[in-house]
Amino acid sequence: MPRNIEGKEESTQTWIEEFYALYEKAVKGYENGTQEAARLFSPAEAEFLASIGATPQEIFDFVEDWCDDGEPDPEMVFRITKIRRDYFLLCQQGQPSGKTRTLDSFPSRDSSIGGFVWLPRIIEKARAKLRGELPPDLMYSCAGDRRFLKQVNIAPAEFLELVWKAEDDVDRIVQFVTERS
């Protein structure tokens, strides 16, 4: 079971409240000039994030994009984080994979499948996000991902959940994207 910042086991409602409080604190810290993941979160906060399958860098990236670009909004960040948390607890039994993918293991930005440029890249980014294997320099739901998903009328959390459900069935993902665009 996830633990809160004080190290106590927590209910579902508690982790949600704690997550939103931590996110709001991070936004305020970023707006006040703390613009490094390592300085934005205390060790206890980093431990809480690890207990839900998240990293300070991932949350920092969301905070940075929210403050600088106005998206993704806090609700979308929560939905993405919840899907990762559910995957972490259900599929990984609360244990990190211990792997981090390299930047060059992802398809290029101009790769395509089913006529959709960017789709191979975002599928692999979503898989890495689910497993907690994104490298620190890569973000799921970055500006490029959001631009692509807007073009095909799919929310970032919805796409992440689709990739989870589709598992290795890329044709299922392509079909869904084709139907929605």
pLDDT reported for residue 169: 98
Last residue of a domain, one of 96, 127, 142: 96
pLDDT category at 11 given cuts 50, 70, 90 is: low
Last residue of a domain, one of 96, 127, 160: 96
* Residue that wins the pLDDT comparison between 9 and 63: 63
* Pair 31, 59 in one domain: yes
Q: What is the mean pLDDT of the chain?
A: 94
Run of H or E residues at 11: none
Peptide bond preceding 72 in cis form (omega within 30 of 0):
yes
pLDDT reported for residue 66: 98
* Pair 15, 37 in one domain: yes
Last residue of a domain, one of 51, 68, 96: 96
Q: Which domain holds residue 34?
A: 1-96
* Pair 89, 58 in one domain: yes
* Pair 162, 125 in one domain: yes
pTM beyond cutoff 0.85: yes
Q: What is the pLDDT of residues 24-33, one digit of tens each?
A: 999 999 999 9
* Pair 112, 83 in one domain: no
CB contact set of 52 (below 8 Å; sequence gap of 6+) = 2, 15, 19, 81, 84, 85, 88
Count up the domains in the chain and report the number.
2
Run of H or E residues at 153: none
Whether residue 3 is predicted with pLDDT greater than 60 in this model: the reply is no
pLDDT category at 10 given cuts 50, 70, 90 is: very low
Neighbours of 109 (CB within 10 A): 12
pLDDT reported for residue 12: 67
